[in-house]
Amino acid sequence: EDQVTQSPEALRLQEGESSSLNCSYTVSGLRGLFWYRQDPGKGPEFLFTLYSAGEEKEKERLKATLTKKESFLHITAPKPEDSATYLCAVNSNSGYALNFGKGTSLLVTP
Amino acid sequence: GAGVSQSPSNKVTEKGKDVELRCDPISGHTALYWYRQSLGQGLEFLIYFQGNSAPDKSGLPSDRFSAERTGGSVSTLTIQRTQQEDSAVYLCASSESTGGLGEQFFGPGTRLTVL
């Protein structure tokens, strides 16, 4: 059975303080790893898809990387508007759905 | 509209009543998914549609839950004889790619409260 574990559960950063969020996964044949951002009261917003180990993608202050066992979401010089819950999900050979982790709640203070 | 829309945004119902939740996917998206997000839990898969057929219903928690999709577009999730444990946010997502591949774009969700 696919498993996705995100850490830490919560993270508080000062504005400008860079850090990384972790997503560890165990799947039977990874077909894609997805990062989403979710603001309170809203649906998840797509950020990145990674398909194979060694792949990296960037968008503004965010950079996602992938190894055979985990993915990192690096946040460089975060701003308060980056505060949100970041969700990691995998799709594997075991089915059609995305299997989500429980998320990391990020708070960036001025 | 450009995104996935869901209605109603909020639904409060009494235990034992039936509810219908609606999803309008992005135009042209063949794949449609329903998920449930409970307080403190991750997103939980319910059902996957490819066109009007549902090749994966494995996430539906009981036979009180059913869903249909018509015209390859709008989908309705029906919960019969609601229970308090059904209280959650129900999210719909659509994708251009079928079979679980490709990005899924989510709607804002329907918050269901069962009293």
Mutation site, A96, A98, A99, A104, interface B, largest B CB count within 10 A? A96
Could you tell me the pLDDT band of residue A35, with boundaries at 50, 70 and 90? very high
Please count the residues of chain A: 110
Question: Quick one: pLDDT at residue B1?
Answer: 53
- A105: amino acid identity, one letter: S
Contacts of B29 in chain A (CB under 8 A): none
**Sign of the CA dihedral with B113 first, then A95, B41, and B23 last:** negative
Q: Which of B40, B58, B104 sits opposite A98 (nearest CB)?
A: B104
Residue B113: CA count within 13 A, CB half-sphere = 5
| Residue range A28-50: mean pLDDT, rounded | 95
- For chain B, the average pLDDT equals 94
Q: Confirm if B37 and B99 have CB atoms less than 8 A apart.
A: no
| Residue range A77-87: mean pLDDT, rounded | 97
Contacts of B43 in chain A (CB under 8 A): 44, 87, 89, 98, 100
Burial B4-42 (b: 16+ CB within 10 A, else e): bbbeeeebebeeeeebebebbbbeebebbbbbbbeeeeb
- SS3 helix, strand, coil % of chain B, rounded to 5? 5, 50, 50
CA distance to partner chain A, nearest, from residue B106 (Å): 6
Q: Please judge whether A43 and B109 are an interchain contact, meaning their C-beta atoms are less than 8 angstroms apart.
A: yes
CA distance to partner chain B, nearest, from residue A69 (Å): 20
pLDDT-flagged residues of chain B (< 50): none
Q: Confirm if B17 and B71 have CB atoms less than 8 A apart.
A: no
Could you tell me the pLDDT band of residue A95, with boundaries at 50, 70 and 90? confident
**Sign of the CA dihedral with A9 first, then A22, A80, and A44 last:** negative
Closest-approach residue (CA) in chain B for A5: B42
